Structure 1
Amino acid sequence: MIDLEDRQSLAHDIHTAHKAGARLRLACETAGIDVRTLQRWNAGEGLVSGDGRPHAVRPQPSHALSAAERAEVLRVANEPRFADMPPARIVPMLADQGVYIASESTFARVLREHGQTAHRGRAKAPKAGRPPTTHIACAPREVWCWDMTYLPAEVVGQWFYLYLILDLYSRKIVGWEVHEGDDASHAAHLVRRTALAEGIATLADKPVLHGDNGSTLKATTVLAMLHWLGVKPSYSRPRVSDDNA
């Protein structure tokens, strides 16, 4: 919607350009309007009184609900049997009883006008969850990631278990072991040996060790070892300092 001053300015500039030899259609396109828009402004009082749409008197549609009908919609929606239901359930239940008061959209509109569509029901309203915390690795020995994976053996149905710890920043494999079985004591031994090899005891800020929610890496034995080493376990998504993903 273009206000009156901008209309008059655009019309004057277009008229000046057209008088100087420019084509009217191109002048209107340069000004950002259509030729028909300029013709409508000139035909009526568009350049004198401005746009009349905001002040137009629009009659009420003949099929609009009356005040009594709107009150009935609100009363039915607030009945104890419907108080915790959305319009998508209210209208079908009334239809099963052979009763029609209004459509689902009308119920929703009336309830919205009275502020009753934010949350209908006895359950607590949903809350927006905060994003999980994350750890950023800006240098080596700040964030480690570890996991356990299966290594197939030459014998069908037999597996070995690879325990591996990776430095997130440098991508260096700082510790790994292969075992025949899955045991939390193997993971605890690996993290202790890796911490000694990397000199974690001499660091003022110990690294964060990120892992998945596997039972082995979250076992009490492993958590106790991490606590003894001063290494903080993490199960959120880590990233490096230049990670824009």
Structure 2
Amino acid sequence: MLIEEARENGARYGKACEVVGISLRTLQRWKQGWLKDRRKGSSKAVTRKVPQETREEIISTCNEPRFRDLTPYEIIPQLLTEGRYLASESTVYRILREADQVHHRSELRIGHRHAKPPERKATGPNQVYTWDITYMGRTIRGLFYYAYVVKDIFDKSIVGWAVHEEGQEGGRP
């Protein structure tokens, strides 16, 4: 270290630190070992980490044929009635998530798409109607006029309209 070499040749620590471009206090911290890795992303020893053997036991238990179709929410109470405690429900979820096993656990229940609602098509006037509610501001803050408009979908013409001071029950004009 350059500073120690300068010190051996008779220089003071303060002047040697000045030449190198660090403060004397930084040098003192280095020598006393006070500088620890305090970055937020540094590796830390987790004292209550679930051991690897327990993790493997949790995964193998959740993959048993009788638990294969159940969630940890359902597995944990069954194990407790048998007198077995592996971990908390949230810990089991976390371990299964890390093992990429938090999906639909049933082979029967695979993801499916929901049916689209029926589409209404008008081939001529006066077949399909839609309605719209517009809130129009008043001079009193927080109070509105409610404008109801009924339209024909085919030609987008207004079939009827009404303006009310209060909203109608069920939202219909």
Q: TM-score, normalised by structure 2?
A: 0.48
The answer to which structure, 1 or 2, has the higher relative contact order (CA under 8 A, 6+ apart) is 1
Q: TM-score, normalised by structure 1?
A: 0.35
